[in-house]
Amino acid sequence: MAVPHNPPFRAEHVGSFLRPPELLAARDRHGKGEISDADLRAVEDSAIRDVVALQEELGLQSITDGEYRRGTYSDNFTTSGLDGVTSQRIGDGEWRYTDKSDHKTASRVPTVHGKLGWNGSENARNFEFIAGLTSRLPKLTLPGPAYLHYRGGRENISWDAYPNLDDFWSDLIDCYRQEMAALSDAGCRYLQLDETSLVKLGDPKIQNALAGRGDDWRELLDIYTDAINEVVRAAPPGMAIGMH
């Protein structure tokens, strides 16, 4: 279980940096099948070395890989680390992102189509790479446990696999437990949960969208908080948990 304590530094960043153009281009080519997994990883490695050096130059004491191996913050753990999950981009509805110029971007919505199971930790390998680049505290991030439910709700979770959502949450927490154990074995001592759904529950537009699918944001706040607490309780000894 994670023990409450104050970190030995007063400022840090949430983990993600703007992707350099060469990395964006490589990921686009990889998506089109023009370069191999190894080619993409080589570009990622180079970009990560640069962003680690930048963080150290700025005096940061908590170092991440900029999330440069992910298309979005939820990738890896939810896209390859869990059995029973697929995701798709949804361009319509209240779940799109809107920037200050009113530009709308499709949102990725996960679907739980079968029983959840842990499928190994790609993040553990990625963490070891960061740890080998810095003598400061390397930090890894994971999407919070609410992510799989918040975006799609009950209808995006298989009724055949989970007629009772209590079993869904129990299996999901167990997947986090196994992921955190693998990260701990890789040397990770600082893990951040990106649980952005909590603050979104205070948005009237989101509250209306949730109500439209049959969810009460007040009830979800309690459910999501319980899930977060269960994940924190499942953390291995010596692992600190941060929240974003």
Looking at residue 9, its pLDDT comes to 73
Residue 10 CA, chain-centre distance (Å), reads 23
**pTM (2 decimals)?**
0.88
Burial bucket for residue 26 (CB in 10 Å: 0-12, 13-18, 19+): buried
Q: Residue 237 corresponds to which tokens in the numbers above? A: 């000894």
pLDDT value of residue 115: 97
Give the pLDDT of residue 131: 96
Asked if residue 93 has pLDDT above 60, the reply is no
pLDDT tens track for 137-169: 999 999 999 999 998 899 999 999 999 999 999
Give residue 95's pLDDT.
52
Confidence of residue 4 (pLDDT cuts 50, 70, 90): low
| CB atoms closer than 10 angstroms to residue 58 | 9
pLDDT value for 134: 96
Alpha-helix residue ranges (DSSP H) falling in the chain: 21-31, 37-57, 122-131, 147-150, 165-185, 197-200, 204-212, 217-233
- Given a cut of 90, whether residue 227 has pLDDT beyond it is yes
- Give residue for tokens 């920037």: 99
Q: Once rounded to an integer, what is the mean pLDDT over residues 24-29? A: 95
Q: Residue 87: its pLDDT value, please? A: 80
